[in-house]
Amino acid sequence: MIHKLAKDLDNQKANKPVDLICSILALIPQIDHLNRWTKKRMKLIPDDIKAFLHFDDVVKMNERIKEKTAQLISNIESEVDKAKAIFEWVRDKIPHTKDVNREEVTCSSTEAFDHGTGICFAKSHVLASMMRSENIPCGFCYQIFNNPISTIPDSMALHGLNAIFLNSTKRWHRIDPRGNRHGINAKFSIKKESLAFPEMKFIDDCIYSKPLEQVVEGLQTATSISELWPVLPSVKIKNVQQKD
């Protein structure tokens, strides 16, 4: 619509003041959406970008992950292309455990990497390790959905994904390495979000440097995917802010 307005002005189709005002007013929702996308209005937890480069007991680093990351980006120069290569490898080469009908539950980045599988949370942990190993700040975001087999009352299940900060764009970008299948087509994009579940609401506007406690506890406690699914890491409905 922005381009259309400019064209109309060039063609002098909006020569009446009232037409020009109406055209500008019609742009406001789109401009607001563009501003939200550009600024992201995200809160860092904690408010220290260095925290998004640290390793811990979940976002781990070992020689195997370090070597694979170095191999993936060995012939790549740009920061954006490096991030894309890492994202696509985690998305495509570490299958989502449910998609391949496996039962093991992985949590830390090294577990998921070594077993070659993980659900959304574990895959986000792998991505964080690989991004951070290349000095690309990487954190965690969470969406919510109704789990039809949940045994946790008054709750919404979580879906985990990542956000990365690129120096070349000076912005945070949310990306989802969950893995594609029929009906899911997440992509790496710095222009427009392309998530696995774009219809899902986010629990808040935050990017967390560490995975949420209930995520880690849930993955570390469960002994199988079948055991985990009815008690997927969740949040109480009353605590949900539901952000786009």
pLDDT, residue 144, reads: 98
Segment 49-63 mean pLDDT: 98
Write the pLDDT tens digit of every residue in 146-174: 999 999 999 999 999 999 999 999 999 99
CB 205 within 8 A of CB 43: yes
pLDDT, residue 41, reads: 72
Using CA atoms, how far apart are residues 55 and 44, in angstroms rounded to an integer? 17
Where do the structural domains in the chain lie, given as residue ranges? Answer: 2-39, 43-239
- 189: closest CA among 59, 49, 87, 111? 87
One-letter amino acid of 226? S
| CATH fold group of domain 43-239 | C8orf32 fold (3.10.620)
**What are the DSSP calls for 101-168, one per residue?**
T------SHHHHHHHT-B-HHHHHHHHHHHHHHTT--EEEEEEEE--TT--STTEEEEEEEEEEEETT
Q: How far is CA 9 from the centre of its chain?
A: 39
One-letter amino acid of 138? C
Which tops the pLDDT comparison, 210 or 39?
210
Write the pLDDT tens digit of every residue in 199-234: 999 999 999 999 999 999 999 999 999 999 999 999
Q: 174: helix, coil or strand?
A: strand
Write the pLDDT tens digit of every residue in 85-140: 999 999 999 999 999 999 999 999 999 999 999 999 999 999 999 999 999 999 99
pTM reported for the whole predicted model: 0.84
Using CA atoms, how far apart are residues 209 and 206, in angstroms rounded to an integer? 10
